[in-house]
Amino acid sequence: MRRIWTSKPTQELNYEVLVNFVVTLVSWVMVLILSSGFLLEYSRGTRSIGFVSLMLAAGLGSILAGTVIYLRNRSSSWIRYVTFAGFYIMYIFSLLTATTAATFTFVFPLAVLFCMYLDRWFMSIVCSLIVLLNGIYVVRQVGLTDVSVVGEAAFNQFKTTMLIHVSAVALFLTSLMAVVYIFGRLKKTMDVKMTEVSEARVTEQKLYGEMAKTADILDTNAGQVYGIVKEQYDSSVAVYSIIRDISQGASHSAVSIQEQTEFFHEIQLKVEQTSGLSGEMQVAAEQTSQNAASGLELISQLREKSSEADSHTTAAAEVIHALHDKTEEIQRMTGHISSIARQTNILSLNASIEAARAGEAGKGFQVVAQEVRKLAEQTQQLSSRIEEVTETLAADSVSSVQAMEQLQQINASQSGLAAETGDLFQAINGHLNKVKTKIGSVHSNVRDILASNTKINEAITTISAVSEETLASTEEATSVMEQHAAEAQRAKGLVEELLHTSEEMKKLNIRG
């Protein structure tokens, strides 16, 4: 809430009011004393009731009129004239009807009372009237004194007394006029000074007013600035807390990214190993295909030899021995084929596992790996059948060696077996070509996965570097926000000090 402070009202000394109050008060005292004296003289029979009534009417009437004027207007200049008129009337009758020579001294307190106004014009009138009255009194007294009655010496003494009377009144009034003049000058100087002081007080009041407005504006603005700085401080603390949380999160993210980098690096190694194995599988498939072609060629030769078996009985034994050797070689080849099929099955299983780990990106490769595994299982089955056939062929060849006489009987059967074996090898060769194609696709896919994984690894490395930079930036931002929060706290303290200064200015203005 906005408040306005004003300085305390000043009560300056009004000289005119003060003198009017003193004159009125002293006039009452003097009138009461004089009235008591007149009543006392009346009681002694020295004054008539008419004289006393006139004196009381003049004195009390003037003082009552002066009091009424004072109550209506305490700085009125008519008070001095009204009260002096009453006293002067009383002084005229008292002096002219005096029975003692000291009656004229009544003028001294009267003149002193009215000289407090320090009004030279008014005091000139007062002094002139007093001198005139005392002059009339002296002339009248001298004129009424008969020298022949009082004697020369007494008359001379009387004149001396009157001279002293006139001189005393004249000197007193002259001194009083000098005092009025001097103090009047001093009063004017003091009035000038008081005017300057009053103007200074007005200026001071204006200054206090401006200070009050300034303090009010300062209080309002300082309060608003304090609110802004406080909000800024609270915001800085909140931002600092958020950035600190972000920094902690970035730190955890950096650790997590580092772990992911190591994990993808391990995947990279596994994929590279898989790529090498798939290359070996491709080479093995090529060799198996060549071996199958060789087997077909041997079967063709076996057919030729079987057709000549009837006419070349002697050579049949050697051919059977060669057939036995070839059969053993075929067994070894089928063993290799079975081994390759098992390795292919294992590799396809590993490829399926790696494809499952790769998630969404490895679904296609997983399908291919499953097909490769199926082909490997079929190849292994065929190899088992070939092995069984070759074992039978070996047993037959041994039997043929032992029993040449039965060669003719089983030659037809052997020719059929050779033809069947040729067909079987033809089928094996077709399957091996398919396996070769699938293995080539697997190898190509593995190379693509290797390239993609390399890019992922590079991206993870870049993310790791960016994460480290982000962590460094958040740590730097945390430091900056911590410093900003400290500066906001310091600004808050300065604004609080400014508010305290504003309160002190308000207190100073109130005391002023």
Q: What is the helix (H) or strand (E) element at residue 342, kind and residue range?
A: helix 313-358
For the stretch 345-396, pLDDT in tens is 788 778 778 777 877 777 777 777 778 778 878 887 877 887 787 778 777 7
Could you tell me the sign of the dihedral formed by the alpha carbons of 336, 337, 338, 340, in that order?
positive
151 domain-assigned? no
Residue 139 sits in the same domain as residue 276: no
For the stretch 452-473, pLDDT in tens is 777 777 777 777 776 677 767 7
Residue 322 sits in the same domain as residue 464: yes
442 domain-assigned? yes
C-beta separation of 244 from 478 below 8 A:
yes
487 domain-assigned? no
Residue 401 sits in the same domain as residue 256: yes
Largest Cα–Cα separation, the chain: 230
503 domain-assigned? no
Where is the domain boundary, 144, 174, 204? 144
Sequence-ordered list of residues with C-beta below 8 angstroms from that of 189, at least 6 positions apart, any chain: none
Measured distance CA(406)–CA(399) in Å, rounded: 9
40 domain-assigned? yes
485 domain-assigned? no
Hey, what amino acid is at 230? K
Could you tell me the sign of the dihedral formed by the alpha carbons of 377, 379, 381, 387, in that order?
negative
Structurally, how many domains does the chain consist of?
Answer: 2
237 domain-assigned? no
Helices 120-144 and 107-115 cross at an angle (nearest 10°) of: 170
Query: Residue 4: what pLDDT?
Result: 38
Averaged pLDDT, groups of 10, the chain, 512 residues long: 40 71 85 82 81 83 87 86 82 72 70 78 83 78 70 74 75 76 73 73 74 69 68 68 70 68 72 74 74 73 70 68 77 80 80 77 73 79 79 75 65 72 75 74 75 75 73 72 72 72 67 56
Identify the domain containing residue 333 by its residue range.
250-473
Residue 387 sits in the same domain as residue 272: yes
Residue 270 sits in the same domain as residue 398: yes
CB-hemisphere CA count at 13 Å for 82?
19
The CATH number that applies at residue 450 is: 1.10.287
Secondary structure of residue 300 in the 3-state scheme:
helix
Hey, what amino acid is at 53? S
Where is the domain boundary, 144, 176, 198? 144
Measured distance CA(409)–CA(404) in Å, rounded: 10
Residue 339 sits in the same domain as residue 454: yes
pTM over 0.85: no
> Angle CA(49)–CA(53)–CA(59) in degrees, nearest 5?
145
Where is the domain boundary, 102, 125, 144? 144
511 domain-assigned? no
Measured distance CA(286)–CA(468) in Å, rounded: 49
Residue 134 sits in the same domain as residue 254: no
